[in-house]
Structure 1
Amino acid sequence: MTHSRDNVEIAAEDIKLPPYNPYNSPVPVMDMENVPIRQMRDPFVMKSNFISYAAHASWQQEILAAAERARKYIHKYLGGLVETDNEGAEILVVASGTAVSQSREAVALARQEGIDAGLIRIKSLRPFPTEEIKEMTKKAKAVIIPEFNRVGCCAGRLNQ
């Protein structure tokens, strides 16, 4: 119910299910760390395994390398990693995906009220346009990053 904007009715205490206890479950606990089932389903996501961590790290390095190799094609076919509207504005909205439409509307409304606002649309998350965004936002007085998930995606990458 975390995405509901309407009021919700909470169920009465006497009809709620008891808290989940994996050891009372009809299916045995199979999380690689609890006895009696230390079964290996996918060795590359097992905990406490150096080889798994090394394999995962090498996959991540290859993903980042492949993304960097794709950079020239993104420039060729998409015209760059970002698209801007009023790039030199005092207030910049940096958005990607579904947040771009609402951000465009917000920038237009802000301009109607005399606010100097602009938009930076991120076209690619891999490779992420870190340097491009840093360059475009360095003179802005405020940078707004609208994000529709719990932890956000862009803010962490800009701090790198």
Structure 2
Amino acid sequence: MASEAWVSVISPQMPHLMTYLVGTLGIAIRRGEIPGLRDFLLQIRPDLHHENTHGNSMVNQFWEHRFQCRFAPPPAGWVEAGGELCTGQEAEENAETEFLDVSNLRPEYNVYKAVYALAYALDDIQQCEPGRGPFSNNTCAHLQRLEPWQVRYQFTLKS
């Protein structure tokens, strides 16, 4: 058996290694699409008027990496070395980075599915009708007093 990191690289597939690897079973995380993710990433804009945006916010860091610029105040020597200052209005055609490549998001897709499942479980809990619930005396869970086992139950409940 081989992990995804080991089995998905090209080097073990070389002919001289094949005699050692015949019968190897490779386990890989399923690749999937997260609908709308690329469009969402492309519409992200920094908040230039918020008080805590000087290099500390995740959006500003994403923007700086995406456009290879820095928000004021830039690091010492940045401008002198030819670095650009971010305006928040940088052109989209200069936007391609590895962050925008949504074609191979294996671990991220699993996180997406987990969040999606949790959201549906919480929605099911919220939609429960008193007197028709799945718990003792046909009661429902309440989001304000939610117990972990009640969420787990919603994950395994057949709809």
TM-score interval (norm. to shorter): under 0.3
Judging by fraction of residues, say which structure has more helix. 2
TM-score (norm 2): 0.21
* Larger-Rg structure: 2
TM-score (norm 1): 0.21
